[in-house]
Amino acid sequence: MHSLSTHQSLLARLSRGDDQAAWSECFARYRDLILAVARRRGFAGADGDDVLQDVFVELGKALPRFQYDRERGRFRGFLKTITVRMIGRRLRQRGPDPAAGTTQATPEADEGPGAPDPEFEATWEAEWRQYHLRQAMATLRNEVRASDMRVFEDVTQGRREPGQIAAELGLTVNAIHQTKSRMLKRLRELIAAQVLDEG
Amino acid sequence: MSEPWYLDDNALERELAEAAGADLPAVAGYTDLRELGRGGQGIVYTGRQTTTGRTVAIKLLPARAAGARQARFERELDLLARLSHRNVVGIVDSGATADGRPFLVMELVDGPTIDRMPDVATWAADRGDVAARDRIVGLMAQVCDGVACAHRRGIVHRDLKPGNVRIDHDGTPKVLDFGLAKDLGGALDDLTLGGASAAAVFLGSVQWCSPEQARGEVDEVDSRSDVWSLGMILYRLLADAMPFPPATGLHATLAAIVDLPATPMRQHRRAIPTDLETIVRHCLEKRADDRYQNAAELAADLRAYLAGEPITARGHSTLYVLRKTAARHRGAVVFAALLLVSLVAGLWLSLSLWRRSEDGRQRAVVAQRRAEAAMDFFADSLGAASPNRQGPDAKVLDLLRQTDLGLEANLVDDPDARGFILARLTDLYVGLSQIADAERTATVAAELTERSFGPDSPATFFAKANLARVHHVQGRYREVTAALAPLATRACELGIEHEPEVGHVFIVLGLGHLRLGEADAAERAFRVAEQVRGGDLGEMQMRAAVGENLAAVDAMRGDNKSAAARMRDVVALREAHAGPENSSTLDSIANLAYYLAESGDVAGAEGKVAAALAIARRRLGQRALTTLHLLNNQAQYLHRLQQLDRAIPAAEECLAGRSAVLGEGHPHTLVTRNNLAMMRLDRGDVDGAIAELEGIAAIHRRAGNGTALDFLGTRNNIARAKKQGGRLADAIVDMAAVLTDCETMLGADHWLTKACRATLGLWLCTAERHAEALPVLQRSVTELTADRGATHADTRAVRTRLHDTLRALGRGDEIPPEAPSAR
């Protein structure tokens, strides 16, 4: 759905700061990741949307200065740092004076990422994997027949047994396994390409 | 570092299983939901309709739907309900979830998006598979049907792109995602969303959007915007490329859509038929008024193409596009463009201005615009040419070929413009020594013009003369006169011989006669051309050309002083109107120098040529015809100035250049080879020189397209070489034979005949064969006195030998008393 550009060219566009479409694309790409991370840290629903908004406002301020240099994981670390900071800020705002907490993103002196939080690291990594999976699945959906996609999802997500699917479709179990294996391979390629592109 | 998670099947499957647990909405009446994709307007799931068991697509707004988004969603629902067409995805159901989120249920299209169809890959991989190509066109015609159905109801899709067209299991293309559609019948809703969420709304994929959408002119978006997007899809599928160069950033992408001309598809894929190119170009007109007005018109033309019937987009003038295309680069014309401008300036200016005066203001405006379009087009192509080839010539050639390609695509509809630009291309190819290309373009232009305007149109006369001019450059002089003499007669019958285009016929005809040694016929032709009257600048061009050619006639008759005087005027005229560095000016300087040298001022000639050569090397390149012409002549003058150390390398360079550019057998190549032989002779390499000359004569004899003059001139030189090598008796036999042939083939009055007679007389005298020498010398003195005057150096030299002969024969009393004494 949002495969207009590669991640790298998206970053290049974002770092120019005035590219609304690039922002839309970036938002579409990372929204679910950030919302999921926020939810795991206790910000669900509207609270999650607030974190999401904070992160994007912050990204908007920081990205024009962001120099993409192919260092692996650079953007990923960058986005994580911002997300950690924004969640941290929301957590502090929740404390003493919730009423004063606004969604307004006024610039303020930042405290930095603070001490690494092992639990957060795990959360982030898990969500990052899901993020890549979603992207790759979206691409895969455009490449294969919906019926094949369905077989793949059913098998890998344990919705139905291969034997049951085979019987429904009049195929052999082996054919179902072959479909699954072929699509897993493609999925790996797609994710590998995404990871490479991400730098 | 451990293996990445995605390379481990177990880890990957764990992630997949986890993804299954992601929160899925509950939609009453549907089970087994799973995410299919998401975009700005909502998340799409597949699900099973419990009542029917069929698998469908369910589109649901995200949890926090903004008001505007919700409104749009509801409108889509409304629009889709009104649309029923086999090529538009059908609506099955709609409603709201328990928590109030609206959803829409559509038929599930179980197939790839149109750009991932097997035929598209096949066509991209195999240029010869035209069946795959036409199947793509057929599918797109169906896509147009679906969009046309919406257009008939006043609905515009506004977000057509390959991702929104899927192929159903039975091969039917279906248009999806009318989520952004604008209902022209209803009120325009507010598309702007406030807050950070606005970023999530990605209004269409920018690269497919029309110029009016790119400019943000929401009010201007209508069915013709969809036509644009359909054209973009067609382009992408057929050319396997996008029409605009890739741009980074939204602004650059949008600017390209608004400003840049679409690259002709045939630059990506040669196997795109002209009609298809025309259809797609018609979709991609920048102005909506210039496009198909709706998808139905486009569908009709696509089907006409498939059926081999005429398409309606044909006949649409492309000059507008051409002009638009060129307009944007005016400020960024590179050096090479300036060179080309100077190359073509002569002809097109004169043409356009001739037309101005001839047909009045209205036609002048047209011609001017056409000329400007041509120039802009060339400049534009030049600006885009790749600079990383060696030398300016290669660069210019590169882009010329690009231009040529562009023309095939861009000018099919307008024969006048195409003929005009083809004529300019011919000029350029000739100037760059690409004779085969020149002949090709000139032939196409001649055929096209005759077919479009008939045999008696001045434009046809011009195009045929232009083709003959290429033949002239190829040394096919007999063909030139054979082709143009009847045209000249016909022009006089029609009374159009003084029209500017027709003047070209007489110029080229005269040149043909000139090369064949037919001075009187040449002058007659030139005198007709001299009567051509037109606009101020056109007349200047014509006067320069006629002056130049009349100088050649003067020279042919032996009057080099008059020729040089004429050429001074011509050079002055050209410098004033074309500029001192223009190739036509440089050519004229070469000719002036030639006549100067012929009339005795060899040092002056060499100086002029050396200066012009420096400019030509810099401006035109080392192997441009003008450069080689100047180099040849410089070598000659250096030879005459006895500077053989400089002359021979210059001649060798020129020979290498002409052999490479014109070929071994070209008359100009042979002239240089001849000159080099004569230089070697002067160096003392008699046998080498004779062998070289025999080789030239053999080429003349074999080719049969060389002129009598060239052939006899070479034999004359062979005889001279033998004489210089001390083989006087052989030389005399040869020269006597050459003289006889000259009298037969060129006539007694030809300057070469006279020169051979003088030479033979001198040699016979030297050989002390006085009885044979006497009549020859007597006749020669009479001829020379008549042609060059009694006091000319040649006349005096021959007369002296005549007196010697008379004395040797004991007839010294016959020597006139007033004659100057012997040396």
Q: Mean pLDDT throughout B578-583?
A: 77
Residue B354 pLDDT = 36
Taking CB atoms and an 8 Å limit, are B249 and A137 in contact across chains?
A: no
pLDDT of residue B209: 83
Most confident of the ranges B587-601, B620-634, B728-742? B728-742
Q: What length is written for chain B?
A: 823
Listed residue (B713, B719, B706) closest to B750, CA to CA: B713
Chain B residues within an 8 Å CB radius of A184: 9, 12-13
Look at residue B720 and tell me whether its pLDDT is greater than 70: yes
Report ipTM (2 d.p.).
0.73
Chain A residues with CB under 8 Å of B109 CB are: 146
List chain B residues with CB under 8 Å of A49.
64
Q: Please give the pLDDT value at position B299.
A: 93
pLDDT for B183: 37
pLDDT at B702: 72
Fold of A1-115: Rna Polymerase Sigma Factor; Chain: A (1.10.1740)
A24-28, B320-324, B756-760: which is most confident: B756-760
Q: What is the residue extent of each domain of chain A?
A: 1-115
**Binary contact (A134, B19; C-beta < 8 A):** yes
The partner residue sitting opposite A20, judged by closest CB among B169, B196, B250, is: B250
Q: What per-residue confidence (pLDDT) applies to B234? A: 96
Q: Is the pLDDT of residue B181 over 70?
A: no
Over residues B25-49, the pLDDT tens digits come to: 778 888 878 777 665 556 788 888 8
**Token duo for residue B286:** 């920048």
Q: What pLDDT score does A170 carry?
A: 83
Least confident of B98-107, B389-398, B432-441, B712-721: B389-398
- Asked if B64's CB is within 8 angstroms of A49's CB, the reply is yes
Distance from A32 to chain B by nearest Cα, in Å?
11
pLDDT at position B519 over 80: yes
Residue B81 has pLDDT above 90, yes or no: no
Residue ranges in B433-535 assigned as alpha helix (H) = 435-453, 458-473, 477-494, 500-515, 519-530
Percent of chain B with pLDDT over 70: 73
* Mean pLDDT lowest among B606-620, B667-681, B729-743: B667-681
What's the rounded mean pLDDT across residues B168-181? Answer: 79
Q: Is the predicted pLDDT of residue B594 greater than 50, yes or no? A: yes
Query: Angle A69-A71-A77 (CA atoms, 0-180°, nearest 5)?
Result: 105
Pair of tokens at residue B75: 């409108």
The residue among B342 and B622 whose pLDDT is bigger is B622
d(CA A22, CA A13): 6
Element containing residue B616 per DSSP (H, E): helix B602-619
Cβ contact (<8 Å) for A4 and B206?
yes
Crossing angle of the two packed helices B118-125 and B223-239, in degrees rounded to 10: 50
CB-nearest to B15 from A133, A145, A158 is A133
Residue A98 is predicted with a pLDDT of 30
pLDDT for the residue numbered B674? 85
- pLDDT tens-place string over residues B524-543: 998 888 887 654 445 677 77
**Own/partner pairs, B202-205, CB within 8 angstroms, 24+ separation:** B202/A2, B202/A21, B202/A24, B202/A25, B202/A28, B202/B39, B202/B40, B203/A24, B203/B40, B203/B159, B204/B158, B204/B159, B204/B161, B204/B180, B205/A4, B205/B159, B205/B161, B205/B163
**Average pLDDT for B16-24:** 69
CB contact under 8 A, B36 and A141: yes
Contacts of A25 in chain B (CB under 8 A): 202
Q: A25 pLDDT exceeds 80?
A: no
Of the residues A129, A134, A145, A165, the best mutation for testing chain B's interface (the one with the most B CB atoms within 10 Å of its CB) is A129
Record the pTM.
0.41
Residues 5-34 of B with CB under 8 A from A: 5-7, 9, 12-13, 15-20, 22, 32, 34
pLDDT at B320: 31
What's the gap in Å between the CA of A101 and the closest CA on chain B?
17
- pLDDT tens, position by position, B268-290: 887 888 888 889 998 999 988 88
Chain B nearest-CA distance from A111, in A, is: 24
Specify the amino acid at residue B502: V
Angle B708-724/B667-683 helices, nearest 10 degrees? 10
Average pLDDT of span B440-445:
86
- Which of B3, B14, B16 best tests the A interface by mutation, with the highest count of A CBs <10 A? B16
Q: How far, in Å, CA of B639 to CA of B633, rounded?
A: 10
In this prediction, residues B467-481 reach a mean pLDDT of 86
Q: What is the mean pLDDT of chain B?
A: 75
Contact A130 B15 (CB under 8 A): yes
Q: Which residues of A touch B37 (CB under 8 A)?
A: 1, 138, 141
Q: Specify the pLDDT at position B433.
A: 57
Q: Is the pLDDT of residue B578 over 90?
A: no
Residue B572: partners with Cβ closer than 8 Å, 6 or more residues away: none
Backbone angles phi, psi at B96, to 5 degrees: -140, 150
**What is residue A15's predicted lDDT score, i.e. its pLDDT?**
67
Shortest alpha-carbon distance between residue B252 and chain A (Å):
10
Interface with chain A: mutation pick from B14, B15, B31, highest number of A CBs within 10 Å: B15
The widest CA-to-CA distance across chain B, in whole angstroms, is 139
Put simply, the answer to whether A16 touches B36 (Cβ < 8 Å) is: no
Query: Tell me: the pLDDT tens digits for B347-368?
Result: 333 333 333 333 433 443 444 4
Q: What is the pLDDT of residue B351?
A: 38
pLDDT greater than 80 at residue B643 = yes
User: For residue B809, is pLDDT > 70?
Assistant: yes
| CB-CB under 8 Å, A145 with B39 | no
List the one residue out of B480, B472, B471, B416 whose CA is nearest residue B448: B416
Task: Choose, out of B202, B205, B253, the residue to mutate when testing the contact with A (most A CBs < 10 Å).
Answer: B202
Query: How near does any CA of chain B get to the CA of A113, in Å?
Result: 23
Q: Pick the more confident residue, B454 or A107.
A: B454
* pLDDT the model gives residue B538: 56
**Looking at residue B654, what is its pLDDT?**
92
The reported pLDDT for the residue numbered B108 is 85
pLDDT one-digit tens code per residue, B770-804: 999 999 999 999 988 888 778 877 888 889 999 99
Mean pLDDT of B172-176: 91
Residues of B acting as catalytic residues: 159
pLDDT of residue A110: 32
Structure confidence by residue, pLDDT tens digits, B188-206: 233 322 222 222 233 336 6
CB spacing of B110 vs A192 below 8 angstroms: no
Mean pLDDT (whole number) for B624-647: 88
Q: Do A130 and B18 touch (CB under 8 A)?
A: yes
Q: Which residues pair with B354 in a beta bridge?
A: none
pLDDT above 90: residue B685:
no
Is the model's pLDDT at A108 over the cut of 70?
A: no
Residue B313 binned pLDDT confidence (cut-offs 50, 70, 90): low
C-alpha–C-alpha distance, residues B571 and B567, integer Å: 6
Kindly state whether B55 is in contact with chain A, defined as any CB-CB distance less than 8 angstroms.
Answer: yes
Q: Which of A26, A129, A188 sits opposite B7 (nearest CB)?
A: A188
Tokens 């009709």 sit on residue = B300
Asked if residue B432 has pLDDT above 80, the reply is: no
On the question of pLDDT at B698 being above 80, the answer is yes
C-alpha distance from B54 to closest chain A C-alpha (Å): 12
pLDDT of residue B359: 40
- In DSSP terms, which residues pair with B174 in a beta bridge? B166
